A and B are shown apart, each in its own frame.
Chain A
Amino acid sequence: MKRTWEQVKLTEICSPKQWRTISMNNLKKSGYPVYGANGKIGFYNDYNHEQPTILITCRGATCGTINICEPFSYVTGNAMSLDNLNENRVNLKYLYYCLGNFGLQNIITGTAQPQITRQSLDYVSLPLPSLQEQKRIAAILDKADAIRRKRQQAIQLADEFLRSVFLDMFGDPVTNPKGWEVKSLGENLDFLTSGSRGWAKYYSNEGEKFLRIQNIGKNKLFKNDMAFVKPPNSAEAKRTKVKSGDILISITADLGRTAVVPDNFGTAYINQHLAIIRVKNLNSIYLSEYLASQGGQVQIQKLNRQGVKAGLNFDDIKSLKILIPPLDLQKKYEQIWLNRYKFKENYDQLTKKSGEIFNSLTQRAFRGEL
């Protein structure tokens, strides 16, 4: 840190205060926004802050998180609001990034219920360069933050795009406006099996991939949080090994998540919460997206056996009604999907990078190296 930068106690430049908490029952549907422990929780007919103010979450699991409230909002006692900020000395945005950078983890007290108290804030001090320098730092970090956010938005848009193309090409799966032929999944089924039970004993730190419910989503395969097994040489292992083009579907608990096994995925097995659907005369990507769509999900939820735990059996899966558009149209969708998918991988990379840029800039800014 530059030696010329003054170290100032937080309580010298503002007065932290916990305002009165209002009961959840008194929240309204509209009005002034109410800030709880971590962000907006509803609306109320009164406000206690006219100006944007920095809020520190002071109770619960998210203790230490920093937010800024909108003008005219009600801040409850679950967040410490840094009132009467001395704006001749400190810039709000600078303080926001600065607190975020140094973190407040070391002043959290309480074991069962973490908390930050007014007293413990006495121990927080911050580097304070000239107001002009503060504004410069805040502007740079704001920009880097905006890039980071827009990257995340871009990913959401890419997902939305794929769904939109699907609806555009095939129409809504339930109302079937394009009048495609409807068949049950059983008629186009080549192979259907559920995963292995009791493979915990084969878990290992390396080996073959073992796919679990958290690895699949809405026609999406997640490769982080992967488990590995050293599989036995058994009929069960042969049966539950995936092939490229297989559609995976969750059949217990959170029903109807789907994913397609991509080319060159390598050897992988499924556990008992998943099933493999291998189809004929039907495109896997099309089917997986179909099942992930609103219309597919409605069908699956209807079949849900509401026992102690939700579940689907093979008859249920076979009975799913599928719209059968011409194969070349399905293929066309697959191509767009694969194309976007490649894009998305790039996107993920870029998003990660934009996060890194932000972190790097923050670190340097408060070291005085910017």
Chain B
Amino acid sequence: MITGELRNQIDKLWTEFWTGGITNPLTVIEQISFLMFARLLDITETRNEKKAERTKKPFKKLFDEKKQDRRWSHFKNMPAQEMLVHVRDKVFPEFKKIAEAGVPYGQYMKDAQLLIQKPNLLVSAVNMVDDLPLTEGDSKGDLYEYLLSKLTTAGINGQFRTPRHIIRKMVEITDPKIGEVVGDPACGTGGFLVGIMEHLLEKNTSTQGIIESDDGKKTFTGDMLKDADRKHIRNRMFHGFDFDGTMLRIAVMNLLLHGIDAPEIHYQDTMSNNFTERFPKMSEDFFDVILANPPFKGSLDFDDVHPDLLRKVKTKKTELLFVVLILKMMKIGGRSATIVPDGVLFGSSNAHLALREMLVDDNQLEAVISLPSGVFKPYAGVSTGILVFTKGGKTKDVFYYDVQADGFSLDDKRTKIDNDDLPDLINRWQKRNPKKDTDRTGKAFFVPADEIRKNKYDLSINRYKEIVYEEDEYDPPKEILARMKDLEMEIMADMDELEGMLG
């Protein structure tokens, strides 16, 4: 549980980074992540040492005898100037060796560079990281999420953080289960994967396993998970790809702190030719569930795009190619919820049409959920929707839902408000019935696939939603005319009177 005090501490550190000259929030998070990593290495080492002492069995040391001064516990109390030089020149280069030694998450840290240049800033950062409850099981993730919530500017390639409450609803709609394999082809900070993890814990926690904190927030311990389940979650379940090194590091740290200590997070442009070469298994017919918010405007190396994707939909638009890619990566029967800009739903180019035909005719398009255009503020005001689809089969009826409020104001501030359609969305989705949900003036309704085909595969909700019509009401023309005459007469009388007053 992340307390108010801890939050204040993080906020304070944030301002210190600013005044210390590091203003890019991504860099700040990355630097803090490196320090957390340094501390986690020390924690692991200490734990192993204690275990070795008890069992009298030797273990593979991360830090050999001569390099004990690289450990967190050693340098954390150094004087400021000395600490800066030591961490920069000794500790960070050490990460590379450790990475090669094969700590599961080590490979992402090998390029670590200390960008902090003010000794005092480093001391503050180290002190704060030292205070973080990194050894306590369930709160570490929340803490990191709080750090990530400070990412309020979009990246160069248009990456932005998907709001967590939207992620949770997408997870609930696709409902991933233990034993399945899940992935995100453009994972960013790993939000979707973390969302799935939280969902699994919630589903597998007994009433006794719920820890309630003072402010009423519940933590789910996942006490009903079996050892085999945990092993699957840790090693095989989660897959993410991205081609932004900073994002990857953050994603790994995020998953790690949420209890997934060996996630398959890879540096990979999933659109590219070499995806199939490097990950032949994962690039085709592999996943049970894919959740994604792929980049909409990201630049694309067109010549490097895998020809399999272009054969289906010839375009340079990443938002279209990603949907094709997701279909390719999933097994038959695999489920996806993917955020797309509204243009995908009604665009009239050949590529747009081809993609929609593919979704409706060769796969099962399950739902189109229209989101209000402020959902991604303050990053972007773009209007979007969530496509829910299953690979293979043929579409019969498509569930539509018109989300008009998501519990937050739709301006740049995004302050919490009472109006929230999302719980109703889940409720209507779970109880959906094509025979009963036919009222097109309501928020949720079904549209038969044939009707969509007739409308040139237009998927936009406005095409099918019906607006409650109120007839125009006016008095009969003659009555209005009479009133006009009366008014004219009044005005005439008024003018006469006025004339009289002026004498």
Determine if A161 and B484 form an interchain contact, defined as CB atoms under 8 angstroms apart: yes
Determine if B474 and A144 form an interchain contact, defined as CB atoms under 8 angstroms apart: no
Distance in Å: Cβ of B450 to nearest Cβ of chain A: 19
Give the number of residues in B that approach A within 8 Å (Cβ atoms): 36
Determine if A307 and B490 form an interchain contact, defined as CB atoms under 8 angstroms apart: no
- B-binding segment of A40-48, A148-156, A223-231: A148-156
Determine if A161 and B476 form an interchain contact, defined as CB atoms under 8 angstroms apart: no
> Complex: how many Å from CA A317 to CA B80?
70
Determine if A302 and B472 form an interchain contact, defined as CB atoms under 8 angstroms apart: no
The interface residues of chain A lying within 8 Å CB-to-CB of B175 are none
**Is B342 an interface residue when CB atoms closer than 8 A count as contact?**
yes
Q: Which of B463, B490, B498 gathers most chain A CB within 10 Å?
A: B498
Determine if A154 and B476 form an interchain contact, defined as CB atoms under 8 angstroms apart: no
Q: Which of A139, A153, A293 contacts B472 (CB 8 A)?
A: A293
> Complex: how many Å from CA A31 to CA B462?
40
> Complex: how many Å from CA A163 to CA B472?
9
Q: Which of B381, B460, B474 contacts A163 (CB 8 A)?
A: B474
The interface residues of chain A lying within 8 Å CB-to-CB of B381 are 308
Determine if B501 and A158 form an interchain contact, defined as CB atoms under 8 angstroms apart: no
**Is B343 an interface residue when CB atoms closer than 8 A count as contact?**
yes
CB-CB under 8 A for A370 and B477, given A151-B491, A167-B472: no
**Is B487 an interface residue when CB atoms closer than 8 A count as contact?**
yes
The interface residues of chain A lying within 8 Å CB-to-CB of B502 are 140, 370
Determine if B469 and A150 form an interchain contact, defined as CB atoms under 8 angstroms apart: no
Q: Which of A139, A298, A313 contacts B501 (CB 8 A)?
A: A139
Distance in Å: Cβ of A128 to nearest Cβ of chain B: 21
Determine if B491 and A147 form an interchain contact, defined as CB atoms under 8 angstroms apart: yes
Q: Which of A167, A305, A370 gathers most chain B CB within 10 Å?
A: A305
> Complex: how many Å from CA A350 to CA B462?
44
> Complex: how many Å from CA A295 to CA B490?
35
Q: Which of B342, B470, B476, B488 contacts A294 (CB 8 A)?
A: B470
B67-99: CB near A (< 8 Å → 1, else 0) gives: 000000000000000000000000000000000
Q: Which of B343, B470, B472, B480 contacts A307 (CB 8 A)?
A: B343
CB-CB under 8 A for A161 and B494, given A172-B472, A174-B469, A298-B467: no
Distance in Å: Cβ of A315 to nearest Cβ of chain B: 8
B468 nearest in chain A by CB position:
A298
**Is B417 an interface residue when CB atoms closer than 8 A count as contact?**
no
**Is A237 an interface residue when CB atoms closer than 8 A count as contact?**
no
CB-CB under 8 A for A294 and B501, given A165-B477, A306-B342: no
Give A78-110 interface residues, CB cut-off 8 Å to B. none
> Complex: how many Å from CA A302 to CA B346?
14
A281-309: CB near B (< 8 Å → 1, else 0) gives: 00000000000011100100111111110
**Is A345 an interface residue when CB atoms closer than 8 A count as contact?**
no
Determine if A147 and B495 form an interchain contact, defined as CB atoms under 8 angstroms apart: yes
Determine if B477 and A294 form an interchain contact, defined as CB atoms under 8 angstroms apart: no
Top 9 nearest A-B pairs (CB, nearest first) are A164-B474, A294-B472, A161-B480, A165-B477, A143-B498, A164-B477, A147-B494, A157-B484, A172-B471
